[in-house]
Amino acid sequence: MRNNWIGILLTIMVVLSMALSAIVWISPYHFEHRGEDGSRNEQQTTSQSMQDIYLPSTIIHTKGDGSQQFLYDQPRNLMLTIKESLRNWQLRSGRRISSNSSGNYLSYLRHDNSLLLSYPATVPLTIFNDSFNASLSTDRISRVNHIVLPLNDSHHIYLLSDDHFQVYRINVRNMQIAAIKKAMKGGHHFSVDHKIVNNRPFVTYPNGVKLPEFAYRITTANVDNISQSLMNNSRKGNINSQTEGDVTTYSDSPSRHLNYNHKRGTLDYEHYMGQDQHYSYQSIFGHLYERLSKSTISLDSLRYDAYNSGSKTITYRSYVENFPVFNDDGYGEVRVQLSTEGVERYHFSRYSLQVPLPVDKHWTRLPSSAVVFNELHNSNHMKDITGLRVGYRWQSNQSDKTVTLTPTYYVHYRGNWVDYQTLTK
């Protein structure tokens, strides 16, 4: 009898193992983030690949009647499904079909029966090529902001660049979208629309937005380990440290040092390479990712978020459910710079969102974008606004082991993303 029970238990364990393996194979990304009961599970500790960290951050479905819906939290990870599908398509030559026409550009942002994939900021074509296994020529197309995937056209996709409102039609062979349509089912959505505001394309929210709060456990990195890794030094005694006020400086040579701000929990690393570093726009994204991936800085929840061409700086930011996370002290954000003078700089914090926690659903209702724009007009700030997005606010408190993320609108104001309420009070 005992042997029979053992055999039955072993059979059950094998079946459960096979079932879990199938779930992970079908939807690996989503399985890392949310359990079957809606609670959130700990993410894997492996770093994201360059293909994934530079993926578009938002997906908008335009229906046949022209209405648009922002999609998020699909049971199957829609962005990864699109990525894997697109990598199997054969993208042929492309040509520009529109330029310098905001009206035409808007019509493609609202293309009927399509999915619009949008990057949070411009990326070079080389990044698109790497993520989607394409080999389009950078001689014809330089920058990409949006990808339009028609759901009723098996021969073309469109690449859009906000720079001069350029639209490129790309010929496609072997375009299969059945898996994409299947992954679109379920999940959540809210109404959006595209408009041209201050001569820039905006996503607007005509009916406002209702979103839940999220809770995360915070992981605190060990500063000594960070200094050892960044300075490639396995012998702790060879790294000198000196504290002045709230800042401790770690250094192993005159050319390399790490400043740790105890009060804010942020770190600034500088490495004087000793030679000029010249990377083209098409190559610097890959180079800075490679440098960052060799550090101990966790890339798990980070996504590409911005590029400053003047300072050659890329910002990577934490995201939850396709929404960016913002913090006044820079928590959940990594900035990487490679100056033309040969100085490599990192700015980041000890604190990162690591373990999602189950919480009672507290929902926040955000007003319509029309209300937001009116308030910005009344405060005389609207003329300086160049972007609008929904994000999550991370309130700084170093003593907390967990954090609650609250949704709000962020506007791009004079080069920075800020909570719109700071401009309308």
Model pLDDT for residues 223-281, shown as the tens digit of each residue: 988 998 888 754 555 889 999 999 999 998 888 999 999 999 999 999 998 776 678 99
CA 185, CA 71: separation in Å to the nearest integer?
10
143 contacts 285 by C-beta, under 8 angstroms = no
Q: Give the residue-averaged pLDDT of 107-118.
A: 98
22 confidence band (pLDDT: 50, 70, 90): very low
Give the phi and the psi of residue 165 in degrees, each rounded to 5: 50, 50
Q: Is residue 406 pLDDT above 50, yes or no?
A: yes
- Of the ranges 164-173, 208-217, 228-237, which one carries the lowest mean pLDDT score? 228-237
**CA–CA distance, 19 with 143 (Å, rounded to integer):** 43
Please provide the average confidence, as pLDDT, over all residues in the chain.
Answer: 87
Average pLDDT estimate for 394-415: 87
Q: What is the pLDDT of residues 358-390, one digit of tens each?
A: 777 789 999 999 999 999 999 999 999 999 999
pLDDT > 50? residue 37: no
Predicted pLDDT of residue 237: 55
Please give the Cα distance from 193 to 191 (Å, whole number): 7
Residue-wise pLDDT tens digits, 191-200? 999 999 999 9
Per-residue pLDDT for 46 more than 80?
no
| SS3 state at 240 | strand
pLDDT reported for residue 35: 35
Q: Please classify residue 349 by burial: count the beta carbons closer than 10 Å to its beta carbon, then call 0-12 exposed, 13-18 middle and 19+ buried.
A: buried
Work out the average pLDDT over 275-299.
Answer: 87
- Region class of 122: left (phi > 0), else alpha (psi between -120 and 50), else beta: beta
Q: CA torsion sign, 171 to 176 to 180 to 181?
A: positive
Res. 356: pLDDT tops 50: yes
Give the percent of the chain with pLDDT over 70. Answer: 86
415 Rama class: left (phi>0) / alpha (psi -120 to 50) / beta: left
pLDDT of residue 397: 64
Q: What is the pTM of this model?
A: 0.87
Nearest one of 136, 211, 175, 250 to 404, comparing CA atoms: 211
Average pLDDT of span 94-114: 97
Among 18-27, 197-206, 223-232, 354-363, the minimum mean pLDDT is found in 18-27
pLDDT in tens, 69-90: 999 999 999 999 999 999 999 9
Among 325, 376, 385, smallest CA distance to 352 is for: 325
Reported confidence tier of residue 45, pLDDT bands at 50, 70, 90: very low
CB 150 within 8 A of CB 132: no
